[in-house]
Each structure stands twice: as structure tokens, then as C-alpha cells.
Structure 1
């Protein structure tokens, strides 16, 4: 088993929907994949929290995965949405079946603060599916608060764990604790909002879904612990938009509207119970996108013909 998942930026894919029935838009999925690959990501994370995987049917999940596989040769991490072992095993088996050798790991949420319980869960998923595991520590979604010390020690003795996604704030502290205790790559998330500090604390990169993956890739590629100024200069023009996208409660709707305005997806609908984008934020978002384009020279619109 390869315990060294590629460092860099792993782009977390949104799942675009179409029409009043919010059907999966496979053309939009393909456009997002193509753009992320052109931006230079190391790999893709599919069916994660940002991909609204918990609101997709089994057939829709297969459609998304099959579309991604047809569009790119990049390695994939496939998200598992449940906290219970049996359904996670089913999700992991589907990922192994469809993705095969390109599967870098299945992303499994830490489902218990108790080391023995979490260890039993991760071992069961690995043994039943054969998949390597990326442990996602995301208490805002899971409701589980496991200490970084406990998680780091567990990962260090778990050869089936290939990486950790650290999203328990303060994330730089979590990254520092984890990298001190285990030797697998640790990735930040949360839209890249703490990326510079996570890199300074030993992160291997980011695994997240910012609407300008170009900025995150440039930042990680520029990172040098002895001279962080260049990476800082790469990220600073994007930080206002990163912060705007990370607004609690509406982050998903904001980011999908950013992707729509960039021409990467045709519609920005989100599935209930996710909140819609408030009208009061629309002019602010337009201003952020204009400012981002002006300060980075990365065009807001990257394709033509999308309303």
C-alpha cells in the first residue's frame, strides 16, 4: 500500500443540478473536472460534503463517479457520507468497484471520539472493501469531536490510512498535532481559509472546493517554509472571496453561484435542506468576483455560452 498520497491541492467537486427537479447535470460535472485538471490539481475528491453526496440517490452517485472517470485520468478520493459502519462499507465497495486502481482512498468521517471505536470502524471498512482510507475530521458536519492527539496516534498505527483531512478548528493546531504524531499526509480544507498557516504547520496541501482552484494550486506550489512570502502573495488576492464563500449556513449556495458566474456550471441550485443564496449577497458576490479578476488577472468567466 502507498502511504504517501500525492501532496498538493485535491479539488473537491460540486454536484451541479438542473431545472426545477434538480437533476444531476453530468455535463456540468465534466466541466468542473476539466477546469480543475487544467488548474493543476493533484487529484479530485468526489461525493464529498460539498458534492452534496448525502442528498444523492445511489444511481446519482454512480452517475457522478462514472462521469468523472470518463473525463479525467486523475486519481480520486471518494467520499463516504454515513457515520455508521455498514453503509460506509457499501459506499466504499462501490468506489472500489467503479474507480479501481485510480482510487487513492475513500474518505471516511471520524465517527467517534473513542479511539477503540474509531479504530474498529476504520478497520472494518478497509477489510470489507480493500480500500485505503482518508480520515476526515470534520466536527461541524459529523458532530464528533476527536482530539488530534488521539487521531494522530491512531493513524500512526493504522497502515490502511493513507491521509487525514483536518477540518477541526483551529485547523493549524490540528495539523501541527497530527503531523507530529503520524507520517501520512495531512490536508487542510474549509475552502483554504487557513491554508498558509496549515502549510506552515506541516500540511501537505489542501483538499477543498474553492471556486478558484488556480489560486490554491499557485499557493501550494509556491510554498517554501524558509521563505513564505511568495506563497502569501499568491493567496492574498483570493482571501476576501475565500472568506465570503465560507459564510456559515450559505457557503454551499455561495460557492455554487460563484461557479455558475465563472461559466463552469449552468445553474447554481442546491438541494434542500441547504439554504438558497440570499438576494442581499448577490451584489456583494459580484463585487468580490470583479475584484478577484482585477487583482489576479485570472478571468472570472472561463467558458463561453453559459448563462
Structure 2
């Protein structure tokens, strides 16, 4: 039986780069990780899709994991980019070699809609590594759509699943269906997608969020408010941040936007992304310069008040 992930916010950490060769910027990465811990994240998700893991070398992935572990005391979920079993095992073994007991679980994408085949994939990874697994249902990245009932069947068959990250729209509906299928005492289910559906996901019973946003303190405050005071309390906290959530989650440029906002907030030194990610559009920055900076200043003040 794996360790079940704690309720709350598991911050998805982007990978900052620097210089003409876009080397991993460990100083900025450490500063980001320290911020996630300071604002109350219960854990970190490193080498996810928004961590640009697919563009990193094996050595760079190890460097990112080492930096995150050294900069905070938070437990870590390491993302696995491979969709096939054997290369996924190799990625998990590499993460275990770097993190040891700091590795709480690995995040594995659903690679098929067939529950028997998906269960065998997860069982093969667990058998070879002993790792707990966060099952990520993210059709936008994997290209695979898995019905909630199939995800539930896989989770029931695989007791080493530590959580489900549900990112198949409509997310709140799928989370509600998944939790109903799992029944009382099932594994926690987390929302993602930058917090766009966070309020509805929490109302549907999500344990929290496993995602990134340029104001992670707002995610933390909203999840805490939902757990303590219900959906209305969460909405009161998170509503002022929703326009920025929607701005940040624009298709194809979402990663670049998030990095640009972290840059403007002073947490990273460079907002560059690696190919194939699309860079921040200069025209957008010029068009929204004053408006965006004013919004960040106002939300900075709000964020300081919700910590």
C-alpha cells in the first residue's frame, strides 16, 4: 500500500532557464521552491508537463530534482514523461536514486483507455520500483481520454495508487463521478489545469489542487477556505484571482505566460521556454504592460492578506 498524498496544494514547479543555451537556472528554481513552501504548499510536483520535463536531459532532470530537494523540506512527486512501461521504469529509478525517501510518489499519465492495460502498465512500474503512483488523467498531454469509471476500476485494482490527478474536462463532473465510483475511503483526487476549475472541483469533493499558478498562495488559501468553510468561503478568497487564472491558461502560450508572471513577481530571472513550447508574445506584453503590472500589484496586496 502506498502512502496516500496529503490534502492541500501540491505546487507544480516550472523549470527556469538562463543564458543563450537555456541552461537550468538553479538559483531561480530554488527561490520558487522556497516560495511554495513559505506559502503553505503541502508538497511539490517536479518535472511535470509545465516543468518542461520532456525537453530536459537525464542530467538536467537530476539537477532539477536535487535543487528542489535541497531548497525545501517538502515531499516531492516526480513527473514521468514516458507513456510506455519500460522507459517509465527507468525514469522512476532515476528519480529514486536522486531523492531517496524525499520522493513521495511518481506521477504517471494514463496511456490507454482500457482499464486492464492501464492497470498492467502501473503494476509493471510499481513491481520494478516499489514507488507509489499518482495517476494523471490529462488528455491534452497524453492524447488519451479515460472514462471516470475506468479510472476508478484501475485505482481499485492498484492499491499502490497514492492519488489521482483529474484533468479531463469537464473536471468537476469527472471528479464527482470518480469519487462516487471510488466510494468512502478512496484515494484523494486533485484538480489541475492551472486552477481554472478549482472552485467547482473543490465543491465536487477534490482533496485540493496539484497545479501551478503564478500566485500559489491564492491556491493554498482557496483550498484551506474550502476545507474549513465550504465552497462560499473558497469563492470569496479565490474570485479576485480568477481573471489572472484565465489569462494565464491561454492555449499554446500558457507556460510562457506563467513564467512571465513569475518573472514580473521577482521569483525567476528569465521567462524563457524551450522548444516546442511557444515563447511569450512580445505584442501581448506591450499591449498589456500597464494593465498587467497594475493587476499584479493589486493581487500581490491581496495575496499577502490571505496567507
TM-score of the pair, normalised by structure 1: 0.94
Contact 1:108 1:133 in 2 (8 A): yes
Contact 2:2 2:159 in 1 (8 A): no
Q: 2:265 aligns with which of 241, 259, 262?
A: 262
Greater mean alpha carbon deviation, residues 54-63 or residues 89-98? 89-98
Secondary structure in 2 aligned to 1:169?
coil
Between the aligned partners of 1:3 and 1:151, the Cα distance in structure 2 is 19
* Distance verdict in 2 for CA 1:56–1:122, change over 3 Å: same
Secondary structure in 1 aligned to 2:131?
coil
Contact 2:80 2:91 in 1 (8 A): yes
TM-aligned CA deviation for residue 103 of structure 1: 1.5
* Distance verdict in 2 for CA 1:224–1:71, change over 3 Å: closer
Between the aligned partners of 1:286 and 1:199, the Cα distance in structure 2 is 33
Secondary structure in 2 aligned to 1:104?
strand
Between the aligned partners of 1:176 and 1:156, the Cα distance in structure 2 is 16
Confirm or deny that 1:290 pairs with 2:294. yes
Contact 2:215 2:303 in 1 (8 A): no
Q: Deviations over 1:13-71 (max 9, x none)?
A: 00000011101101111011011111110000000000000000000000000111111
Cα RMSD after superposing both structures: 1.6
Contact 2:13 2:47 in 1 (8 A): yes
Between the aligned partners of 2:53 and 2:14, the Cα distance in structure 1 is 9
* Distance verdict in 2 for CA 1:237–1:61, change over 3 Å: same
Contact 1:237 1:296 in 2 (8 A): no
Greater mean alpha carbon deviation, residues 127-136 or residues 272-281? 272-281
The runs of 5 or more residues in structure 1 that have no matched partner are 301-307
Between the aligned partners of 1:258 and 1:143, the Cα distance in structure 2 is 28
* Distance verdict in 2 for CA 1:31–1:226, change over 3 Å: closer
Contact 2:11 2:43 in 1 (8 A): yes
Contact 2:191 2:208 in 1 (8 A): yes
| Other-structure match for 1:126 | 126
Between the aligned partners of 2:112 and 2:8, the Cα distance in structure 1 is 28
| Other-structure match for 1:204 | 207
Contact 2:202 2:231 in 1 (8 A): no
TM-aligned CA deviation for residue 116 of structure 1: 1.1
* Distance verdict in 2 for CA 1:110–1:286, change over 3 Å: farther
* Distance verdict in 2 for CA 1:224–1:30, change over 3 Å: closer
* Distance verdict in 2 for CA 1:286–1:171, change over 3 Å: farther
| Other-structure match for 1:305 | none
Between the aligned partners of 1:285 and 1:145, the Cα distance in structure 2 is 38
| Other-structure match for 1:153 | 153
- For these two proteins, the number of residue pairs brought into alignment is 300
The runs of 5 or more residues in structure 2 that have no matched partner are none
Secondary structure in 1 aligned to 2:49?
coil
| Other-structure match for 1:27 | 27
| Other-structure match for 1:303 | none
Secondary structure in 2 aligned to 1:277?
coil
